[in-house]
Amino acid sequence: MTDKVILEIRAGAGGDEAAIFAGDLVRMYQRFSETQGWNFSAIDTSQSSLDGYKTFIAKIGGENVYESLKQESGVHRVQRIPKTEKSGRIHTSTASVAIMPVVEPQEVQINPSDLEISFFRSSGPGGQNVNKVETAVRVLHKPTGIVISSQAGRSQQQNRESAMEILRSKLYEAQVEQQGAELGALRRSQIGSGDRSEKIRTYNFPQDRITDHRIGKKWHNIEKILSGDLSPVIKAFQKAQK
């Protein structure tokens, strides 16, 4: 089944190192998407100074995307010596991941008067304005206070459509959550506060081991998995579900 999801990655506890780890996760999902023949397109990114991301939002489309990635939602924790560390100490940092299904416009009713839409120039790394024209879009949903930005598209229209898609996904999840439906433990319960204690998975570099705390499974060869070889993790979850 072909479907689409919104992937949202945010750096959590741990400063620059958390942003670098968020960047590692972005590349992992991007490379895995390439191996699956999925379409991966960035919608909104906020880069940090050192090759990392404070936030990264993308859309992934293709065969069984949601089924394959839904277990990735939650807090991911890394333990390693950061590039920024002079004295060789191991640091613990986190990044949160949310995987949200893209929902059709008719599934979520949004009242246009609930929206405040503004336009700005999209910015590149270091905050310099990339465009001379204001193609980037910011949408505020007044009843919930959710703010979505989209700046990767070439036109206002493209960016507006992307922002509305993310907003629908978030509102849909909130609706499902409110109804107490069993559609997966949704965003707030998935992600929590990004605190180190609410982890779903730990990437321990000194021991070259990834542990998923929900199914109690461990894998070695961190570099290979972070390079996009997510299949062993996905297969373990599919097996656990059965």
How confident is the model over 35-86, as pLDDT tens digits?
A: 999 999 998 888 887 779 999 999 999 999 999 999 999 999 999 998 777 8
The 3-state DSSP class for residue 97 equals strand
Pairing relationship of beta strands 217-220 and 91-101 according to DSSP bridges:
unpaired
**Structure confidence at residue 129 as a pLDDT band (50, 70, 90):** low
Q: Give the class (CATH, top level) of 2-102+183-241.
A: alpha beta
Pairing relationship of beta strands 146-150 and 136-141 according to DSSP bridges:
antiparallel
Q: What whole-number distance in Å separates Cα of residue 176 and Cα of residue 183?
A: 7
Burial of 187 (0-12, 13-18, 19+ CB in 10 A): buried
**Structure confidence at residue 131 as a pLDDT band (50, 70, 90):** low
Q: Cα dihedral sign for 177, 200, 23, 27? A: negative
Q: What whole-number distance in Å separates Cα of residue 40 and Cα of residue 120?
A: 24
Which part of the chain is CATH 3.30.70.1660?
2-102+183-241
Give pLDDT tens digits for 6-33. Answer: 999 999 988 889 999 999 999 999 999 9
Q: Going by C-beta distance under 8 Å and a sequence separation of 6 or more, which residues neighbour residue 160? A: 117, 137, 139, 150
Answer CATH for 105-178 from 3.40.225.10, 3.40.190.10, 1.10.10.10, 3.30.160.20: 3.30.160.20
pLDDT above 70 (res 92): yes
Residue 178 has φ and ψ, to the nearest 5°, of: -65, -40
The residue among 205 and 2 whose pLDDT is bigger is 205
Give pLDDT tens digits for 204-217. Answer: 999 999 999 999 99
Q: What whole-number distance in Å separates Cα of residue 231 and Cα of residue 157?
A: 36
Which part of the chain is CATH 3.30.160.20?
105-178
Distances 98 to 117, 145, 171, 212 between C-alpha atoms, Å? 24, 19, 14, 16
